[in-house]
Chain A
Amino acid sequence: MGEKFLMKGNEALGEAAIIAGCEAYFGYPITPQNELTAYMSKRMLEEGRVFVQSESELAAVNMVFGAAGAGKRTMTSSSSPGVSLKQEGISYLAGARLPAVIVNVMRGGPGLGNISPAQGDYYQATRGGGNGDYRLIVFAPNSVQEMADDVIDAFYLADKYRMPSMVMADGMLGQMMEPVVFKEPKGNKGLPPKDWALTGAKGRPRNIVRSLMLGGTGLYEHNEVLRKIYAEVEANEIRYEELETADADVTLVAYGSASRACIGAVRHLRAAGKKVGLIRPRLVWPYPYKVLEKQAEKSKKFLVVEMNLGQMLDDVRIGVAGKAPVEFYGYAGGWIPTVKEVVDRVNQMF
């Protein structure tokens, strides 16, 4: 720990998972996250842990269901079309209250789309792409360092709340190289025991892992348990960063790769005397609605910047609640905003 490495984002995700104690990884090839699967195919075996290249995304996420049911830290990764296939398993993980980490290195959609960076899966990640009422804890890193940090935290929070979590990166973050220092994981400190795990019913009553609750009020009660857990996550785990927001006339809101251009734009505009700030959600579920609500009391306008047609835009509107105009700047299908583009767009708002 403490040593600085120059790594691709996809590989940093893998090393961070190993540091976090991931005991089983299951993956299927898809660009632009292939380096992660390749990295795990080597490192997991070196560590004497489980690696399987599955026959499909469906199989991978259901292998995760099995390993999570065994009480082990486990992960799968993919890119957008592959994550669509995983939605079945993600819903089951949420229903069965199994902790696991899913990584999405997003590419352009819909459909097969392309392999360029994009943020088109925000709805899918934050609204539940699978069936039923469920949530994922969703991290939105904007650097290789944050990708590594987030994987370690994603494992911890998944165990803490007994629910799946997601690290939502994009093709740019996955492919680029940056310096990274791997942080010390918290270990199991403060985590509940996994006394529900399927380890063989030796000296205890049998355990059952399931999401099926036929008959009576079982499913109703189970959903109330989920509601309570999600409320706890919303109360405890709001994470965001603010940049120059105290006196901002225009507040930008962005996450992931799009936020990097926004950080540059804020600095550029401030140097030119324009009062511009940035709110950057580090988790996009739970979402920092109250932070936006407060900012709407002082900021005259908001601009949401995303590499899609406007998805987090909905959450910003919920937070701002009509107290200020919310504008949108974004394109889908491979567009990555530059500092100049964001600066020009913000200048139109003054």
Chain B
Amino acid sequence: MKTVYKKPESMTSATTIYCPGCHHGIAHRLVAEVIDELGIADRTIGIAPVGCAALAYDYFNVDFSEAAHGRAPAVATGLKLTQPDKIVFTYQGDGDLASIGAAEILHLANRGFNITTIFINNAIYGMTGGQMAPTSLEGQKTATTPFGRDLKIHGNPMKVSEILTQTAGAAYIARGAVYDPKHVMETKKMVKKAFQNQMDGKGFSMVEILSTCPTNWGLSPLDAVEWLKDNMEPFYPLGVKKDIDQDQ
């Protein structure tokens, strides 16, 4: 009998807490597959955020650290600089990375330390019950924008990937999505590149993954995918935003 599909070695058998239709599970799997394929599970250290992925260490079968809200890039810095031969990655949501941890991610990218970041952008705070995130779109209704995000009142949605391309230390910045097989495959290539860059000592690499949050968006899993395509993708265009290998 031929095995055509199985759980990556770098994932545990734990049942995740993620809601039906949430894209965290797919993103986790892509990271785990890449860790397996690169053969780095025994020297990889992950850092979990505060948010829905706070329990990521229950799902990845590698060494893991927690971090205070937004501080994963700082924790990663301490782990990586003291152990340059290890592969260190942060896994952060948009509230964690773009709001409370904006300073930490900006300075990590600018220093260009050899660290990989997986950035899950679902345009909302998931764990705390659907509040506005820095990435929430204009007009988007959330628990703290009940009349929709008004740019005059709430400010503008933040394009973190585009901002980070301006840092000299960023080697690779890309934005993907995982709502269909084609995009899953493309995003996996991005994730692999972001880890390979760290192995090759090229500097900071980040993959932003546009994700759904059906529960807090108030949509079915399928409708959430359509909402992402219709609303998030036009504002947050997919693709490689910076690649020092291509830009040279």
A residues adjacent to B (C-beta < 8 A): 23-24, 26, 50, 52, 54-56, 58-60, 62-70, 72, 74, 88-89, 92, 96, 198-203, 206-212, 214
Q: Is the CB of A55 within 8 A of B63?
A: no
Q: Is the CB of A50 within 8 A of B81?
A: yes
Interface residues on B, range: 35 or more
In the complex, 12 of the A-B residue pairs with CB atoms within 8 angstroms, ordered by the A residue number, are: A56-B103, A62-B68, A63-B81, A65-B68, A65-B71, A66-B74, A66-B77, A66-B78, A198-B65, A199-B83, A201-B42, A214-B55
Q: Is the CB of A92 within 8 A of B76?
A: no
Chain A residues whose C-beta falls within 8 Å of the C-beta of B54 in the assembled complex: 212
B100 closest partner in A (C-beta): A58
B45 closest partner in A (C-beta): A198
In the complex, per-residue mask of B28-47: 1 if CB is within 8 Å of any chain A CB, else 0: 00000000000001111101
Chain B residues whose C-beta falls within 8 Å of the C-beta of A74 in the assembled complex: 78, 82
Given A206-B63, A212-B66, A214-B55, also A55-B104 (CB < 8 A): yes
Closest approach, in angstroms, between the C-beta of A284 and any C-beta of chain B?
26
A54 closest partner in B (C-beta): B74
Chain A residues whose C-beta falls within 8 Å of the C-beta of B61 in the assembled complex: 201, 206
Chain A residues whose C-beta falls within 8 Å of the C-beta of B73 in the assembled complex: 59
Chain A residues whose C-beta falls within 8 Å of the C-beta of B62 in the assembled complex: 200-201, 206
Q: Is the CB of A210 within 8 A of B78?
A: no
> In whole angstroms, how far apart are the Cα atoms of A50 and B103 in the complex?
21
B61 closest partner in A (C-beta): A206
Chain B residues whose C-beta falls within 8 Å of the C-beta of A66 in the assembled complex: 47, 65, 74-80, 82
B residues adjacent to A (C-beta < 8 A): 41-45, 47-48, 54-55, 57, 61-68, 71, 73-83, 86, 103-104, 106-107
> In whole angstroms, how far apart are the Cα atoms of A56 and B100 in the complex?
13
A65 closest partner in B (C-beta): B75
Q: Is the CB of A88 within 8 A of B77?
A: no
A69 closest partner in B (C-beta): B65
Q: Is the CB of B63 within 8 A of A208?
A: yes
Chain A residues whose C-beta falls within 8 Å of the C-beta of B48 in the assembled complex: 210
Q: Is the CB of B66 within 8 A of A63?
A: no
> In whole angstroms, how far apart are the Cα atoms of A139 and B78 in the complex?
25
Q: Is the CB of A67 within 8 A of B63?
A: no
Beyond A50-B81, A200-B44, A203-B42, 6 additional contacts (C-beta under 8 Å) are A24-B81, A58-B71, A62-B78, A198-B64, A200-B45, A212-B54
Chain A residues whose C-beta falls within 8 Å of the C-beta of B103 in the assembled complex: 55-56, 58-59
Partner of B74, one of A50, A63, A68, A70: A63
Closest approach, in angstroms, between the C-beta of B64 and any C-beta of chain A?
5
Q: Is the CB of A67 within 8 A of B64?
A: no
Q: Is the CB of A62 within 8 A of B64?
A: no
Interface centre among A62, A64, A72, A214 (most CB of B within 10 A): A62
